[in-house]
Amino acid sequence: MEVIVQPTPAEAARIAAMLIARAIERKPALVLGLATGGTPLHLYDELVRMHREEGLDLSRVRTFNLDEYLGLPPDHPASYRRFMKEHFFDRTNIDPRRTFVPDGLTQDIPRHCREYEELIESVGGIDIQILGIGSDGHIGFNEPTSSLASRTRDKMLTAQTRRDNARFFASPDDVPNSCLTMGIGTILDSRQCLLLAFGSHKADAVAAAVEGPVTSMIPASALQFHADAKVLVDEPAATKLKLRAYYDYAYRHSPVLQ
C-alpha cells in the first residue's frame, strides 16, 4: 500500500481528484467505484470544480456505488442514491443512466446482488474504487468478520456503524439495521483503490489496516492484498502510523505523484 499524508482533507482529496481526472483523460469511459459519507465530500467538490473550471468531461464515465441502506427509497434524504445526486451527479455532466447504486428496495436480494456484480463485470470491471473507512475498519459496509472473499450481498450493520451514521438521520432509531454492499472480493477486483481517511477518530483503523495483520476483524486490511491501493490521509488520521517517515520519503520521491 502507498500511504500519502497531507496537511488537510482538501489537499488529500485534490491528489485523489487529480489521479481520477488523469485516468478519465486516458480513458473517457472510466468505471468509477464510489463511496458516500463525510469522507469523499472534498473529493466530489474538487471533481465538480475540475468539471466546471477545467472542462473535465464526465459524460462517458460509469459509476457504481459501494452500498445502500436496505429499506430506504432512492429519494429518502439519507439514501446513498440521493447523497450521490446532491453531492456529485447533479453537479456534473455525468449521464444518470450510467450511474448505479444498489437498490435498497429490491424484493429479491440475492438476484439483485448477482445482477449488480454482473453489471460491473459487463462493463469491464471497476477502474478506480474510492473508499472511506469506518472507525471499526469497515470498507463499503463490510463490517468486521466479513469474508475477505465476499461479493455484493446484504449485511447487518454493527451498533458502532449505526451510531456513527446517525448524524445523517432525523433520529438514531431511523438508521436501518442492514444494507446492501459490494463485498471485499468485489472491491479487491478493482484495478486501483483510493482509500481516504480524515480525522483522529480514524487513526486506529488506518494504522490497523495499513500496518496490522490481514484480518477480517479489520476488513480494510484486505487491501494489503491489492496490487495498487493508495491510502490518502490527513495528519490527525496518520498519528498512529509507525512508518510515517518512510511514507513521506516515498511520496516526495514518487515520479507519479510529484
Catalytic residues: 67, 136, 138, 143
State the Cα–Cα distance between residues 113 and 119, nearest whole angstrom. Answer: 10
Which helix (H) or strand (E) segment holds residue 33: the answer is strand 31-34
Q: Which is nearer to ligand F6R, 237 or 241 (CB)?
A: 237
Q: Which is nearer to ligand F6R, 30 or 182 (CB)?
A: 182
Select the residue whose beta carbon is closest to ligand F6R and give its number.
132
Query: Is residue 58 a contact partner of residue 23, using CB atoms and an 8 Å limit?
Result: no
Crossing angle of the two packed helices 9-26 and 41-54, in degrees rounded to 10: 50
DSSP for residue 38: S
> Which residues bind to ligand F6R, rule: CB under 6 A?
35-39, 66-67, 132-134, 138-140
Q: Which is nearer to ligand F6R, 101 or 241 (CB)?
A: 101
Report, in Å, the least distance between residue 122 CB and ligand F6R.
Answer: 22
How many C-beta atoms surround the C-beta of residue 252 within 10 A?
Answer: 9
DSSP for residue 157: P
C-alpha angle with apex 130: 217 to 89, nearest 5 degrees? 135
Q: Which is nearer to ligand F6R, 24 or 205 (CB)?
A: 205
Report, in Å, the least distance between residue 35 CB and ligand F6R.
Answer: 4
State the Cα–Cα distance between residues 240 and 198, nearest whole angstrom. Answer: 13
Q: In what order do the strands lie in the sheet with 192-197?
A: 2-6, 229-234, 192-197, 128-131, 31-34, 62-65, 99-100
- DSSP assignment of 229-255: EEEEEEHHHHTT-TTHHHHHHHHHT-T
